[in-house]
């Protein structure tokens, strides 16, 4: 509500080029809201607007923009202006942007940076996208082992202006190895003359920089951490991942899994901003692949052409039966994929889950068979009622078991279980459904083969 009011006032002020009003309004806005506002503006208007902000707030608001937008803006700034911004941005956001800039810009920026910052950018930008190293920041507080609480607090105060969080303090030995952590809460409650070594927590949760970013996010969520220390292969502290970045990662990962559930490939820039060509590419592969899967269903039907000609009424029940198998299978695979993604179930539980699914799907199959039997009787008499009821039961059970097993199988093969999307499970269930249905029909109906 308040955002909408500020936004429309700012819009009016910009129309009138009322500098004073613009400056007042953007000072009142949260950086995240300013970024939201800017999203609907042209590049030129945005650049002009950003000049009204003091450099710290400019860098903060800038950090809330998508990397694509940041990049577009950066390419339109002077090298001087962009360098200033780089100095004030969070180290992780800065490295992400750096990776997207043109070679020329990259060189220009590096030339203007102090040695230390140049190395920081190079180091953070070197981690592959999707790894913990690529989302970590190098702005954290460390204290050497052996110091007193009051000395540690002094260090915290000195480092605070450049640290992304000061609420976790990391204690390093002389080889830069991480030996413990202390929270600021512990520090301000402790006696000033106490030593940090006696107070610090030594049961550490940490992660290697090469691990996947979703693992970092999972650890932060599991242990309710404010920040997760990131170490190299020698257990030297090289960065931290903060909870807010973990929230973003978790949201991205959920979005990716949800898109996969409908066999849509990952969209880097989000659905709202995605280009037509990108949307096309992310959707076409599976659609075409599934056509070939569905040809098998068609071939199954063709194989039974004679019984269809003899009993055309069977076709009436075809979409309903195969769809039920697909739907039950989608339900089972979706429950399983999400359970695996959140750690609610693990691959070891398969046997137990499969037997539970057997009972659940048999109950579902019985309900569905009862539902459909009456309609079968009405459309085609007792024989047809029997065929469709039996088929329904078997199709629902088999569809469910396929849906439950496929994510596990993919997991075992080292693939992402989310590949077992609804459309894929549905297509497989369709083929199996056709074979089950006409197979049962052939064996039960009086048909002179």
Residues 126-185 that bind a copy of itself (CB under 8 A): 153, 156-157, 160-161, 166-167, 184-185
Closest distance to a copy of itself from the beta carbon of 153 (Å): 7
Per CB under 8 A, which region of 98-106, 125-133, 230-238, 243-251 contacts a copy of itself?
Answer: 243-251
What backbone phi and psi angles, to 5 degrees, belong to 179?
A: -115, -15
Closest distance to a copy of itself from the beta carbon of 327 (Å): 4
Binding mask 196-235 for a copy of itself (x = CB under 8 A): -------x-x--------------xxxxx-x---------
Give the binding-site size for a copy of itself (rule: CB under 8 A): 106
Spatial distance between the Cα atoms of 332 and 292, rounded to a whole number of angstroms: 23
Closest distance to a copy of itself from the beta carbon of 272 (Å): 4
Chain CA centroid to CA 27, Å: 33
Give yes or no for residue 272 binding a copy of itself (CB under 8 A): yes
Per CB under 8 A, which region of 14-22, 47-55, 105-113, 418-426 contacts a copy of itself?
Answer: 418-426
Q: For the segment 290-309, give every residue that binds a copy of itself (CB under 8 A).
A: 290-291, 294-295, 297-299, 301-302, 305, 308-309
**253, 217 contact by CB (below 8 A):** yes
Handedness of CA 101, 105, 109, 110 (dihedral sign): positive
Per CB under 8 A, which region of 116-124, 191-199, 230-238, 289-297 contacts a copy of itself?
Answer: 289-297
And the tokens for 9? 């006032």
Q: Select from 76, 107, 150, 367 the one that contacts a copy of itself (CB under 8 A).
A: 367
Q: For the segment 379-398, give every residue that binds a copy of itself (CB under 8 A).
A: 396
Give yes or no for residue 247 binding a copy of itself (CB under 8 A): yes
Give the residue with the Cβ less far from a copy of itself, 50 or 353: 353
DSSP per-residue letters across 309-350 = HH-THHHHHHHHHHHHHHHHHHHHHHHHHHHHHHTSS-GGGH
Closest distance to a copy of itself from the beta carbon of 341 (Å): 9
Spatial distance between the Cα atoms of 209 and 99, rounded to a whole number of angstroms: 18
Say how many Å lie between the first and final Cα of the chain, rounded: 72
- Kindly report the CA angle at 111 between 108 and 112, in degrees rounded to 5? 90
Spatial distance between the Cα atoms of 409 and 184, rounded to a whole number of angstroms: 46
Q: Select from 49, 227, 322, 384 the one that contacts a copy of itself (CB under 8 A).
A: 322
Q: For the segment 20-79, give every residue that binds a copy of itself (CB under 8 A).
A: 28-30, 32
Query: How large is the angle between the packed helices 115-125 and 103-112, nearest 10 degrees?
Result: 140
Q: For the segment 419-438, give every residue that binds a copy of itself (CB under 8 A).
A: 422-423, 426-427, 430, 434
The DSSP symbol for 136 reads -
Give the residue with the Cβ less far from a copy of itself, 40 or 111: 40
Closest distance to a copy of itself from the beta carbon of 428 (Å): 11
Per CB under 8 A, which region of 15-23, 67-75, 99-107, 329-337 contacts a copy of itself?
Answer: 329-337
The CA-based diameter of the chain, rounded to the nearest angstrom, is 97
Burial of residue 308 (number of CB atoms within 10 Å: 0-12, 13-18, 19+)? middle
Give yes or no for residue 411 binding a copy of itself (CB under 8 A): no
Give the residue with the Cβ less far from a copy of itself, 203 or 234: 203
Give yes or no for residue 263 binding a copy of itself (CB under 8 A): yes
Which residue from 251, 314, 274 is spatially nearest to 68, judged by alpha carbons? 274
What backbone phi and psi angles, to 5 degrees, belong to 192?
A: -55, -30
Sheet holding 237-242, edge to edge: 207-208, 227-231, 237-242
Closest distance to a copy of itself from the beta carbon of 168 (Å): 10
Cα separation values, 89 from 56, 70, 98, 290, 330, Å:
8, 12, 11, 45, 44
Closest distance to a copy of itself from the beta carbon of 403 (Å): 9
Q: Select from 262, 347, 382, 409 the one that contacts a copy of itself (CB under 8 A).
A: 262
Q: Select from 34, 38, 169, 372 the one that contacts a copy of itself (CB under 8 A).
A: 372
Query: How large is the angle between the packed helices 2-15 and 19-28, nearest 10 degrees?
Result: 160
Closest distance to a copy of itself from the beta carbon of 79 (Å): 29
Q: Select from 142, 255, 419, 442 the one that contacts a copy of itself (CB under 8 A).
A: 255
Give the residue with the Cβ less far from a copy of itself, 109 or 399: 399
Burial of residue 191 (number of CB atoms within 10 Å: 0-12, 13-18, 19+)? exposed
């Amino acid at each position: 509500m308040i955002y909408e009011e500020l936004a429309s006032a700012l819009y009016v002020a910009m129309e009138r080029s009322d500098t004073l009003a613009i400056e007042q309004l953007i000072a009142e806005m949260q950086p995240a809201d300013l970024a939201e506002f800017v999203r609907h503006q042209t590049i030129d208007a945005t650049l002009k607007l950003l000049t009204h902000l003091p450099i710290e707030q400019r860098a903060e608001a800038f950090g809330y923009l998508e990397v694509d937008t940041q990049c577009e803006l950066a390419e339109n700034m002077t090298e001087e202006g962009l360098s200033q911004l780089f100095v004030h941005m969070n180290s992780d956001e800065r490295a992400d942007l750096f990776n997207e800039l043109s070679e020329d810009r990259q060189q220009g920026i590096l030339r203007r940076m102090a040695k230390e910052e140049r190395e920081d950018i190079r180091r953070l930008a070197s981690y592959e996208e999707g790894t913990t190293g690529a989302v970590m920041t190098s702005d954290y507080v460390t204290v050497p082992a052996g110091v007193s609480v009051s000395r540690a607090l002094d260090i915290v105060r000195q480092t605070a202006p450049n640290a992304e969080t000061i609420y976790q303090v990391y204690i390093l030995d002389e080889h830069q190895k991480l030996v413990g952590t202390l929270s600021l809460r512990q520090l301000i409650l402790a006696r000033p003359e106490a030593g940090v070594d006696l107070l610090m927590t030594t049961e550490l949760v940490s992660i290697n920089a090469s691990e996947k970013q979703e693992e970092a996010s999972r650890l932060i969520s599991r242990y309710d951490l404010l920040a997760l220390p990131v170490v190299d292969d020698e257990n030297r502290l090289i960065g931290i991942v903060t909870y807010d970045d973990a929230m973003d990662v978790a949201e991205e990962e959920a979005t990716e899994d949800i898109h996969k559930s409908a066999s849509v490939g990952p969209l880097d820039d989000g659905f709202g901003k995605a280009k037509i060509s990108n949307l096309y590419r992310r959707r076409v592969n599976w659609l075409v692949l599934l056509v070939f899967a569905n040809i098998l269903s068609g071939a199954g039907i063709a194989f039974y052409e004679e019984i269809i000609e003899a009993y055309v009424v069977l076709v009436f029940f075809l979409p309903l039966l195969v769809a039920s198998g697909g739907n039950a299978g989608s339900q089972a695979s979706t429950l399983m994929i999400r359970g695996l993604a959140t750690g609610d179930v693990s691959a070891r539980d398969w046997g137990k889950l499969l037997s539970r699914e057997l009972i659940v799907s048999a109950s579902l199959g019985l309900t569905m068979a009862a539902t459909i039997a009456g309609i079968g009787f009405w459309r085609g008499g007792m024989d047809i009622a029997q065929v469709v009821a039996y088929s329904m039961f078997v199709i629902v059970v088999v569809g469910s078991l396929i849906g439950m097993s496929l994510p596990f199988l993919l997991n075992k093969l080292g693939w992402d279980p989310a590949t077992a999307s609804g459309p894929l499970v549905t297509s497989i269930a369709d083929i199996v459904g056709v074979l089950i249905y006409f197979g049962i029909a052939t064996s039960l109906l009086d048909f002179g083969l």
